[in-house]
Chain A
Amino acid sequence: GEDVEQSLFLSVREGDSSVINCTYTDSSSTYLYWYKQEPGAGLQLLTYIFSNMDMKQDQRLTVLLNKKDKHLSLRIADTQTGDSAIYFCAERPGGYQKVTFGTGTKLQVIP
């Protein structure tokens, strides 16, 4: 079955890099996503990576995928206070539309 795990909390200083980690179990995952949830706001897709990729960079965001270890990470460069939110890792197996989310990592950015 599908299971996605994340650490619950991460605290970083403003200007530092943040690295949020995720492990998943479904080897048939085709797409892996990072979503951001701010208090009182809906979930927002930040970035995604296709399973045949190792890395994807999008401005301050870098996604690394280690398919062998089923490990996904999100690096946020030059973290700002506006990055404080809960970040969810999610995966979707090929041929299905169901997306399985992790429990979320709360990122706290200290000014």
Chain B
Amino acid sequence: DTGVSQDPRHKITKRGQNVTFRCDPISEHNRLYWYRQTLGQGPEFLTYFQNEAQLEKSRLLSDRFSAERPKGSFSTLEIQRTEQGDSAMYLCASSSSRSSYNEQFFGPGTRLTVL
């Protein structure tokens, strides 16, 4: 399978705990994105990497959220001191800078439930 993969697919945690999600993009893609999607809404952009550099970051990304892409391949998204409002589907996508229209390929998502 050469698509975008995310791990874990589901995460249940208690309020106040830290969680970390992983995304493995399509191997030849140098761009990677994180989005958050809540029920009945479209995905909301969180952040974007080109190679290992984090180039765009949404105001939605509070200080409790941090994302890394240390070697320009896989990425991690960490949420510290989780709150119930963090419950959502976290989507990762990747694309190639060679695509002029920036087709983003999405992974299946990690569903986070904060109790």
Contacts and interface: CB of A to CB of B under 8 A. Distances in A.
Contacts of A42: 3-4, 91, 106-109
Contacts, number: 54
Contact of B48 (A44, A97, A102, A104): A97
Do most interface residues of chain A lie in helix, strand or loop, or is the interface mixed? Answer: strand
Among A31, A90, A98, the most chain B Cβ lie within 10 Å of the Cβ of A98
Nearest to A92: B102
A51 to B, nearest CB: 11
Contacts of B55: 97
Interface residues of B, number: 27
Contacts of A50: 101
Contacts of A31: 101-102
A99 B45 contact: yes
Nearest to A2: B45
Interface string A43-57: 111001010000000
Contacts of B16: none
B2 to A, nearest CB: 14
Nearest to B56: A98
B103 A45 contact: yes
A103 interface: yes
A101 B107 contact: no
24 contacts: A41-B108, A42-B4, A42-B91, A42-B106, A42-B107, A42-B108, A43-B91, A43-B106, A44-B106, A45-B104, A88-B42, A96-B56, A97-B31, A97-B48, A97-B95, A97-B102, A98-B48, A98-B58, A99-B33, A99-B102, A99-B104, A101-B44, A104-B40, A104-B42
Interface of B: 3-4, 31, 33, 40-45, 48, 50, 55-56, 58, 91, 93, 95, 101-109
